[in-house]
Structure 1
Amino acid sequence: MSAPSAETLARLRSLVAAPEFVRDPSSRETRTINEVFTGEPLAEMMIGTSADIDAAAERAGVAQREWAARPVAERARILGKFGVLVHENREFLLDVVQAETGKARSSALEEVLDVSMTASYYAKLAPKELGRKSAKGMIPVLTKTEINHLPKGIVGVISPWNYPLTLAVSDAIPAMIAGNAIVLKPDSQTPFSALAAAELLYRAGVPRDLFAVVPGPGREIGTAILDNSDYLMFTGSTATGRKLAAQAGERLINFSAELGGKNPMVVTADADVDEVAEIATRAMFSNAGQLCISIERVYVERAIADKLEKALVRRIGEMKVGPGYEFDKEMGSLISADQFSTVQKHVDDAVAKGARVLVGGKARPDLGPLFFEPTLLADVPEEAECFAGETFGPLVSLYPVDSVDEAIEKANDTEYGLNASVFAGSDEKGVEIARRIHAGTVNVGEGYVAAWGSYGAPMGGMGVSGVGRRHGVDGLLKYTEAQTVATQRLMHLGGPDFMDSQKWNTTLGSLAGTLRFLPGR
């Protein structure tokens, strides 16, 4: 199948007919959203404005207060039902994601599975973690202390084009279960994935005003979202993340971001070369390398460097690249002319400065307007743009090293710290190496899926790769304000009426010394 089905197109275009943010469709400018494989128009999307964000936030604030009053278990049940609906509608969602991004169906499936599994995980976790908890009081028996987790209010989400379903919704799921409302700005190139998710959220029972999707240009509505939010979640470039962080700081609201990466892979001399080549190919070229956590640098011990080079060249050369809405392709298209231009520029620049193309390196207009071959380079000099700068495309560099220590040193020689991968002769050795790599997630025997799919563990970046974490308890509680309620009973700290001040303070001082030695203090 080389195009979305008629049923998919009809359902997709119905999302345009009455988007929630539009109150006067006749006065709107529109943007043409193209099917990436062919460049042909899919549909027209109305463009949101800062006034739309203001209105959506006002409605969301009202909806949030009612939503937060519901029991956590009820909110969790609704989002759990959403996860089931995502699974049941996966074929439609796969079509929409592919049409907007041009990625292979297997890469689109990663998104659908991620959203469904995230909803299931937090639906089970949240009632326990958000429940009222007891804490040790100042004075045993006399002081009763409890901890509550209150919602922030309105959470602004600014999501990118590369994973337009999972990055629009997976962060919103724990935020909503925690009692918040969402105002979402999807990337202007990929609004339909977010709108398709919204349709399923409403069917699951999420109030329409609680989850508002407003597509539009970041320069106008991105700032409006921040101005209307009590918390901001952003996924995108490091440059934009810096600007938003500064603006969030001015407003003194919390901010979380997953940003860029120049992710390394370390391969030791006792690793299984064929296994590395198989797994690394997916780790490098999933979604045509347009993935924050994909691998762009490979450091391999010199003893097996030639063998790994040959294995990678063979496996990459065998990759099935092309358009299609079936699972028979391993890599699809780049999403835009800008991304295509960046990849071509990085390849040309590296080659002009002395790099060798081991495999790939060329555009494939015969497959579609934005296809570029999966590319592996060697001898990339430090002055090449792709040496230290993120390409965010199907371009990877291979570097032989003399030792594991050198590989780790070079892997850490970057301002980024998002994801990394290690292949070694044993799991124990791989974990030992992983613990020395400066990255928020490190996969041993895998590229990125193992850490990303470990929903119970935090995921995020070090250095300029991010602030805060998604997934795990961290990814839930960050959307709450921790509140302590302490009740002093029987006797206040001024002392009992029958004891004078000097005697009471002496007693209090002695009591404080005793309390230091009680268990748990």
Structure 2
Amino acid sequence: MANTGETRRETDEFERLRERVTLADDDREAISVVAPFTGEQVGTIPAGTEADVADAVERARAAGERWAERSPEQRAAVFEAFHELVLDRQAELLDVIQTETGKSRLHAFEEILDVASTAQYYAERGPGLLAPSRREGAIPLATRAEEHHHPVGVVGIISPWNYPLALSISDAIPALLAGNGVVFKPDEHTSFIALKALELLVEAGLPEGLCQIVTGRGDEVGPPLIDRVDYLTFTGSTETGRAVAEQAGRNLIDCSLELGGKNPMLILDDADIDQAVRGAVNGSFTNAGQLCLAAERIYVHETVAEAFTERFVAATEDLSLGVGDDWDIDVGSLVSADHLAKVEAHVEDAREAGATVLAGGEARPDVGPYVYEPTVLTDVPESADCCREETFGPVVSIYEVSSTEEAIEKANDTEYGLNASVFTGDGERGRAVARRIEAGTVGVNDAYAASYGSIDAPMGGRKQSGVGRRHGSGGLLKYTESQTIAEQRTGPMAPPASLPNDWYARLMTGFLRVLKRLP
């Protein structure tokens, strides 16, 4: 992908995919899309406008009304077919992901796993979750109560650049299965993978027009999208998430927000050190640290700190850096020059504040224009930016602690609460510690993949890391309006005309006491 011929092929493919962008008319500024592997332009996307958003929502709403008439089983069949297409055509998807993000092939493959697993899970479980269900009525035998789920209408999805396939399509699958139309606003760095995935969805049987994609800058496309949709899903920074939530609140629409994190990893005194090192490498440097769930703070017990640190630094220095589609590359590129500058600034600030760099700490332009070495810091003072702010790069800090209590206290000493992990030789102990950590997901003897990959369980943040959940039943039903239908078989629940009100009150009081005694 890094040579001129391959770049030209990618450009041709991107120009073809560009035709799927929703435009109210053709007169739009072109935004350049740059490949991090080379720093070269590989395509352009149109800078969408409010008119484009209005047109996209209108089209999705019209298509959604017809789509909602299909049974959940009929809708699920589309995602069963999509599951197979994603696996069969993964090479095409991986090429686009890598071209836009610069991540290694193995880390791009995580997105394939996520989307395929999500499609299969909801195709299998979705129809049952959406089926009408009986609820306990007000009066046994006399009241029949049912819960029904209806589509909300049009779902807006604003997705980030770091996992552009997983964090757009995996959120869209349950929204579509619930019977909604969808309008995407992908990040301007990574719009083409959303367009490619939409192409496969249509090939799998999704009706044309049901999914719309409006490309462009967030501050120009995001606000008009929130003003027009019936539900909003956003993944991004906490700062932007607050603005999104405020606008959604004014419009009285519900929203789901996965925001920032400063995720801790705890290495307890009984941890298997080799296992902990593997987990720390994976948790800190997957996608060059550009992962919302990545570990940025490691709290290691003093009795194992020396052994862990020595092996972790050695494993970090052994990682291979590279750009391209070689499966043997361990760590790829950062996404842009601006992001590289932020990572460099965090490390330099830590150095100046007195931190020690144990591994890495330098940009590698000899490998790629935005490549930065996996970096391990220690002695990081509270005053350093990277102590509390999210770096979102291949940088992790080690802190020695004297007890499990101290580790838990320091892990919770943050405004964020997205993900955490605990390494220990005792699973029961690990789960007990995990319950005390203020994070939406906590892995025991795993950094993030086990908890995120458990799609039947909810995933989301606490504190300033967001609201709402993806995955599980809630990840589907949040895209529906629940409706209760209650039939009273004995006539209206009101005092009979012949019965005095005080007698009715005594009768109902006795009835409630009898109900309490029933099994």
- TM-score, structure 1 normalization: 0.96
Secondary structure, counterpart of 1:320 in structure 2: coil
Which residue does the alignment assign to 1:46?
46
Question: Does the Cα contact within 8 Å between 1:8 and 1:92 map onto a contact in 2?
Answer: no
Question: Does the Cα contact within 8 Å between 1:32 and 1:45 map onto a contact in 2?
Answer: yes
Cα distance in 2 between the residues matched to 1:494 and 1:162? 58
Cα distance in 2 between the residues matched to 1:502 and 1:102? 75
Which residue does the alignment assign to 1:24?
25
Which residue does the alignment assign to 1:311?
311
Which residue does the alignment assign to 2:463?
463
CA shift, 1:352, in A, is: 0.4
Write the letter of the residue equivalent to 2:205.
Answer: G
Q: Is residue 37 of structure 1 aligned with residue 28 of structure 2? A: no
Cα distance in 2 between the residues matched to 1:503 and 1:445? 63
Which residue does the alignment assign to 1:492?
492
CA distances 1:234-266 after superposition (whole Å, capped 9, x unpaired): 000000000111111111110110000000000
Write the letter of the residue equivalent to 1:247.
Answer: Q
1:294-309 paired onto structure 2 within 5 Å: 294-309=294-309
Question: Does the Cα contact within 8 Å between 2:281 and 2:312 map onto a contact in 1?
Answer: yes
Which residue does the alignment assign to 2:442?
442
Which residue does the alignment assign to 1:124?
124
Question: Does the Cα contact within 8 Å between 1:295 and 1:447 map onto a contact in 2?
Answer: yes
Secondary structure, counterpart of 2:472 in structure 1: coil
CA shift, 1:501, in A, is: 5.3
Cα distance in 2 between the residues matched to 1:303 and 1:499? 77
Write the letter of the residue equivalent to 2:15.
Answer: R
Question: Does the Cα contact within 8 Å between 1:156 and 1:183 map onto a contact in 2?
Answer: yes
Cα distance in 1 between the residues matched to 2:424 and 2:136? 46
Moved more, 135-144 or 508-517: 508-517
Question: Does the Cα contact within 8 Å between 1:151 and 1:179 map onto a contact in 2?
Answer: yes
CA distances 1:91-120 after superposition (whole Å, capped 9, x unpaired): 000000000000001110000110011000
Cα distance in 2 between the residues matched to 1:81 and 1:236? 30
Cα distance in 1 between the residues matched to 2:7 and 2:191? 19
CA shift, 1:83, in A, is: 1.7
Q: Is residue 367 of structure 1 aligned with residue 355 of structure 2? A: no
Q: Is residue 268 of structure 1 aligned with residue 271 of structure 2? A: no
CA distances 1:256-300 after superposition (whole Å, capped 9, x unpaired): 100000000000122121221122111100110000000000000
Cα distance in 1 between the residues matched to 2:8 and 2:344? 34
1:37-116 paired onto structure 2 within 5 Å: 37-116=37-116
CA distances 1:390-442 after superposition (whole Å, capped 9, x unpaired): 00001100011111111111011001000001111222221121111110000
Is the alpha carbon distance of 1:497 and 1:325 closer, same or farther for their aligned partners in structure 2, counting shifts above 3 Å? same
Secondary structure, counterpart of 2:66 in structure 1: helix
Is the alpha carbon distance of 1:481 and 1:448 closer, same or farther for their aligned partners in structure 2, counting shifts above 3 Å? same
CA shift, 1:195, in A, is: 0.4
CA shift, 1:227, in A, is: 0.4
Write the letter of the residue equivalent to 1:14.
Answer: R
CA distances 1:449-468 after superposition (whole Å, capped 9, x unpaired): 00000000000000000101
1:67-216 paired onto structure 2 within 5 Å: 67-216=67-216
CA-atom RMSD in angstroms: 1.5
Cα distance in 2 between the residues matched to 1:249 and 1:502? 44
Secondary structure, counterpart of 2:222 in structure 1: helix
Question: Does the Cα contact within 8 Å between 2:21 and 2:215 map onto a contact in 1?
Answer: no
CA distances 1:172-217 after superposition (whole Å, capped 9, x unpaired): 1001101111111000111001001110111112122211111111
Cα distance in 2 between the residues matched to 1:65 and 1:120? 24
Write the letter of the residue equivalent to 2:23.
Answer: V
Cα distance in 2 between the residues matched to 1:168 and 1:359? 34
Write the letter of the residue equivalent to 2:398.
Answer: L
Question: Does the Cα contact within 8 Å between 1:358 and 1:378 map onto a contact in 2?
Answer: yes
Question: Does the Cα contact within 8 Å between 2:45 and 2:216 map onto a contact in 1?
Answer: no
Secondary structure, counterpart of 1:179 in structure 2: coil
Aligned residues: 517
1:378-417 paired onto structure 2 within 5 Å: 378-417=378-417
Moved more, 447-456 or 2-11: 2-11
Cα distance in 1 between the residues matched to 2:190 and 2:154? 23
1:226-305 paired onto structure 2 within 5 Å: 226-305=226-305
Is the alpha carbon distance of 1:268 and 1:503 closer, same or farther for their aligned partners in structure 2, counting shifts above 3 Å? closer
Match of 2:17 among 15, 18, 23: 15
CA shift, 1:505, in A, is: 4.4
CA distances 1:454-513 after superposition (whole Å, capped 9, x unpaired): 000000000000101000111011111111001111333235566565544433332232
Gaps in structure 1 of 5+ consecutive residues: none
Cα distance in 2 between the residues matched to 1:89 and 1:290? 25
Write the letter of the residue equivalent to 2:22.
Answer: F
Cα distance in 2 between the residues matched to 1:328 and 1:39? 22
Cα distance in 2 between the residues matched to 1:500 and 1:419? 60
CA shift, 1:60, in A, is: 1.1
Question: Does the Cα contact within 8 Å between 2:422 and 2:444 map onto a contact in 1?
Answer: yes
Question: Does the Cα contact within 8 Å between 2:21 and 2:195 map onto a contact in 1?
Answer: no
Cα distance in 1 between the residues matched to 2:408 and 2:439? 11
Cα distance in 1 between the residues matched to 2:417 and 2:147? 34
Secondary structure, counterpart of 2:517 in structure 1: coil
Question: Does the Cα contact within 8 Å between 2:169 and 2:197 map onto a contact in 1?
Answer: yes
Cα distance in 2 between the residues matched to 1:497 and 1:403? 71
Write the letter of the residue equivalent to 2:25.
Answer: D
Gaps in structure 2 of 5+ consecutive residues: none
